[in-house]
């Protein structure tokens, strides 16, 4: 029970840290309303149930599987400390290197002996499952790397658009048509969406309203200073969108919020806009990969589609703007 409790306390945190570094799907960073890593806990719980069913709750097999992987984690932890002491020759680094080096040698020895003696009693299953998970992590990181490169090129092209500083911003036209654009940071996707709205509806919209939610995830939930910095970052990005829309001759304003769930936060902002504007259409950009695969559906959330359905059933006009992305061109 103590070992299981330790795993459920530390496991989701480790998965969250891996998601920050893009070794696991980014959704593992998300916090629930109770500020826990909900997806990590769910995956661990379901995996535990699967292993119990597979082994028929055999303590003999489960203990072997646990003992092998627990010494894998011990070895990696000691190795990380050895690397730290070797790279940082601070006060007491020799003592620290000797202690952690000795610990690493012991855990490696126990790991090798345990794996060799118990290989046929469940050790082979442990090594196979662990190896597959490592392969999945490398595949996830590779996909995110290619996507980031493709998005970097898009940001570079779109970010080069000139923004004219006007002496006086265009006046608000309450009775004119308004485009409400949901964005996540000042990037090529958002800028591309503005241009697409003008291309599809030339001269139709006179006002722009930009909505964005800063997500408080495990990477940012560290203190009041980080939360305040997140809000300032969201507001700065929205101000850039406002200046860009003004330079194109449109009246613009923005609304921002913070939360642990992007769907809930954006839905709340959309309701506020619905009360303030009469003739409005909600727009949201969505990455469209050429040749959609299992990876693209798993690793990139479906926020736009979920929110699109919510807005439609609330009686609001909503449009998804596809942003085409070709990963094979990323180098």
The confidence score (pLDDT) of residue 284 equals 92
What is the pLDDT averaged over residues 309-321? 92
**CB contact at 8 A, 212 and 256:** yes
Note the pTM of the prediction, 2 decimals: 0.74
Among 54-58, 186-190, 194-198, 298-302, the minimum mean pLDDT is found in 298-302
The confidence score (pLDDT) of residue 329 equals 46
Q: In percent, how much of the chain has pLDDT > 90? A: 40
Q: With cut-offs at 50, 70 and 90, classify the pLDDT of residue 185.
A: confident
The continuous run of DSSP H or E covering 180 comes out as: strand 177-182
Task: Domain ranges for the chain, please list them.
Answer: 2-147, 163-329
Is it the case that residue 246 has pLDDT exceeding 50? yes
3-class SS string, 47-110: HHHHHHHHHCCCHHHHHHHHHHHHHHHHHHHHHHHHHHHHHCCCCCHHHHHHHHHHHHHHHHHH
pLDDT in tens, 123-148: 888 888 889 999 999 999 998 888 88
Dist CA 56 CA 211 (whole Å)? 51
> For all residues of the chain together, what is the average pLDDT?
86
How large is the angle between the packed helices 188-200 and 224-247, nearest 10 degrees? 30
Concatenated DSSP letters of 197-246: HHHHSTTTEEEEEEEEEEE--TTTTT-HHHHHHHHHHHHHHHHHHHHHHH
Q: Is the alpha carbon torsion for 252, 258, 262, 264 positive or negative?
A: negative
What is the pLDDT averaged over residues 184-210? 91
Is it the case that residue 267 has pLDDT exceeding 80? yes
Among 40-54, 149-163, 223-237, 279-293, the minimum mean pLDDT is found in 149-163
**Residue 132 CB neighbours (<10 A):** 10
Nearest CA-CA partner of 27 in 261, 186, 287, 237: 261
Phi-psi region of 305 (alpha: psi -120 to 50; beta: other; left: phi over 0): alpha
The confidence score (pLDDT) of residue 138 equals 94
Highest mean pLDDT among 112-116, 177-181, 191-195, 302-306: 177-181
The confidence score (pLDDT) of residue 282 equals 96
Q: In percent, how much of the chain has pLDDT > 70? A: 92
- With tokens 């995110």, the residue in question is 144
Supply 166's token pair. 């006007």
What is the pLDDT averaged over residues 226-242? 91
Dist CA 218 CA 31 (whole Å)? 7
Please list the residues that pair with 320 across neighbouring strands.
Answer: 284
Dist CA 88 CA 95 (whole Å)? 13
Long-range pairs, 305-312, Cβ under 8 A, ≥24: 306/263, 307/182, 307/263, 307/266, 307/267, 307/270, 308/284, 310/263, 310/267, 311/267, 311/270, 311/282
Say which CATH superfamily domain 163-329 falls into. HUPs (3.40.50.620)
The confidence score (pLDDT) of residue 99 equals 95
What is the pLDDT averaged over residues 46-73? 86
The confidence score (pLDDT) of residue 222 equals 67
Is it the case that residue 223 has pLDDT exceeding 90? no
Is it the case that residue 189 has pLDDT exceeding 70? yes
Between residues 293 and 273, the one the model is more confident about:
273
Supply 150's token pair. 């493709």
**CB contact at 8 A, 188 and 158:** yes
Is it the case that residue 221 has pLDDT exceeding 70? no
- Burial (Cβ within 10 Å: 0-12, 13-18, ≥19) of residue 239: middle
Supply 128's token pair. 């196979």
Q: With cut-offs at 50, 70 and 90, classify the pLDDT of residue 330.
A: very low
The confidence score (pLDDT) of residue 176 equals 93
Dist CA 325 CA 150 (whole Å)? 7
């Amino acid at each position: 029970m103590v070992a299981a409790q330790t795993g459920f306390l530390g496991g989701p945190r480790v998965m969250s840290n891996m998601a920050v570094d893009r070794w696991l799907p980014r959704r593992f960073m998300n916090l629930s309303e109770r500020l826990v890593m909900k997806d990590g806990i769910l995956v661990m719980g379901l995996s535990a149930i699967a292993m119990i069913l597979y082994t028929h709750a055999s303590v003999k097999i489960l203990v072997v599987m646990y003992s092998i992987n627990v010494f894998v984690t011990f070895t990696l932890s000691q190795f990380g400390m050895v690397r730290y002491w070797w790279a940082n020759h601070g006060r007491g680094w020799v003592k620290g290197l000797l202690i952690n080096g000795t610990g690493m040698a012991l855990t490696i020895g126990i790991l090798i002996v345990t794996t060799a003696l118990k290989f046929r009693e469940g050790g082979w299953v442990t090594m196979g499952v662990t190896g597959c998970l490592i392969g999945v992590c490398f595949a996830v990181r590779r996909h995110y790397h290619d996507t980031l490169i493709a998005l970097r090129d898009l940001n570079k092209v779109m970010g080069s658009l000139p923004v004219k500083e006007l002496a006086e911003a265009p006046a608000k036209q309450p009775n004119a048509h308004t485009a409400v654009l949901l964005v996540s940071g000042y990037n090529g996707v958002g800028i591309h969406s503005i241009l697409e709205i003008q291309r599809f509806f030339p001269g139709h919209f006179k006002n722009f309203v930009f909505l964005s939610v800063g997500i408080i995830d495990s990477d940012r939930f560290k203190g009041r200073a980080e939360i305040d910095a997140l809000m300032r970052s969201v507001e700065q990005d929205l101000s850039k969108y406002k200046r860009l829309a003004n330079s194109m001759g449109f009246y613009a304003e923005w609304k921002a919020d913070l939360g642990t769930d992007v769907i809930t936060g954006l839905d709340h902002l959309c309701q506020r806009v619905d009360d303030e504007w009469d003739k409005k259409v909600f727009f949201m950009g969505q990455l469209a990969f050429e040749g959609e695969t299992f990876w693209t559906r798993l690793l990139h959330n479906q926020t736009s589609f979920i929110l699109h359905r919510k807005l439609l059933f609330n009686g609001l006009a909503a449009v998804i703007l596809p942003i085409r992305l070709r990963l094979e061109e990323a180098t």
